[in-house]
Structure 1
Amino acid sequence: EYWDDRSLFYLSKMFSSQLQKGESYDKLQKCIQVGVLNFTYFKKDNFCHRRVRFYDEATGDLYSEKLELQILELPKIPKEYHHPDGIIAWMKFFRGGNKKEMEEMAKGNAYLESAYEDLMEMSQDEKKRLAYEARERALRDQLALQHQTEKIFQQIAEVQGELDKAKDTLAETKGQLSKTQGQLSKTQGQLSETQGQLSETRGQLSKTQGQLSETRGQLSETQEQLSETQKQLAEAHAQNDVAHDQGRKDAIIDLYQKGLLNLEQAASSYGMSTEDFQKLIF
């Protein structure tokens, strides 16, 4: 898992660990990271061995020869290759399934024979084998710890990012809350002012209602006085009409007696027949 990143990490670590504090860069030596893969990583071709170096993308020139990756994919070893020397011989040796196969592949190649002898010595020497296994376990544990540490740091970074985001959101929320509280205080002040105005208006309304009640009482009293006055006026009119009618009748009788009106004129003006008028006179 993460083979590409791991291989770059190993190579960079190997290169940077050459210098001690105060040493010059001219002491840096070429570093080659050899990756022996028992699985197929590059699935688009059949190259079992590849060399990766750093080149200028624009010009194609080699940038530096001091960093190099050698990648060996054991499942891609060609079956028809039988030459005892070269990198593929080493690859076949690494892929050896048992002691006999490895011994046969080592024949004729001094380097492979030396490696085979070292392996045999390690397998026979219990202490060396245990030390080798301990070193391998330590390396695996270191790699696992490194991977776990990287994941933890990544998780910490993600949590820190979420925390920073939450802090920003909290600050924004506090700002909005402060603004809302200011608006609320202003609204409460306006409400208090409105309530004061409402109380004042209610007082004025109550006063006006009292004045209206008083005015209604005065109006009722005035209406009663008006009714009494109208009644008295009607009585006066009635009395005046009676007096006027009586005066008119007396005037008619007086005119008749003086001979200024004849019997028919006097009776007609009086509003009765001649017979009744004569009875009234005599």
Structure 2
Amino acid sequence: MHDLLDPKNDFVFKRIFGSEENKDILLAFLNRTFIEAGEPPLTEIILMNPYTDKDSPRDKQSIFDIQARTTEGKLINVEMQLFNKYDNEKRTLYYWSKQYAGQLEEGQSYKQLKKCVTINILNFSLLSNDRYHNIFHLREDHSGITLIDDIEIHIMELSKLSSQDIPNEGGLLNWLLFLKSEDTTNWEVLKVNEPALGKAMTALEYLSQDAEARRLYEMRQKALHDEASMLEGARAEGESLGNFKGKLEVAKNMLTKGMDVPTVAELTGLSTEQLEQLKRTH
């Protein structure tokens, strides 16, 4: 029996939750998420970027988040983050805004904009409370009235869970404990609580015995570790270089290694305009 792959690896996560044959797994997970948020469950979802063999760790352009749409047009983005990329709040809002604004083509009415939901599953602690699932909306400070319901952000922190948190009923917690996967001896209990988890567990066991899937997984694990190390090094270097020329040099190296402009901007303090200019001249 092979050791199980880590479902927190975004490549594995998308294979399990983001493929057409496993769309029912994603739907069950989303419904537990929305029910816990006090919202009605979904009856159907459409995968906008389903997993294909092109989603390979060898390709830097591969996208390992999951993008789905409800029958009413609501857009949902689910992302697994194994390591802290820093400035997560701004990064989350930036990508939410791109998804929201990206719905409109030139000349279309704002009325056509649909609600966008971002779900970030983190393998680290971000928020200064004890809740493993936090939900954010746009509300007025004093009365709590909603300005508009188009923005909804879920932050799920696996680091705030322990193997002692086994529930005795169905719910989102069962899914998050599966993803945390520190203790597989509780899987039978989780599966009884959430029958749909059985298919997710079977999918993970199948992938773990597939030689090619394991090879790609290990490739992605290395890439994720390398990225985390590069981010740590770049942040430390950026903090030690107070002059503009030094920051430009660090930024150039980061862009050359394939880091995206928003992340480089956050780490160096340079503007996106300066970085775009840097890309054009090098």
- What TM-score, normalized to structure 1? 0.44
Select the structure that is richer in helix.
1
Larger radius of gyration: 1
More RCO (CA 8 Å, sep 6+): 2
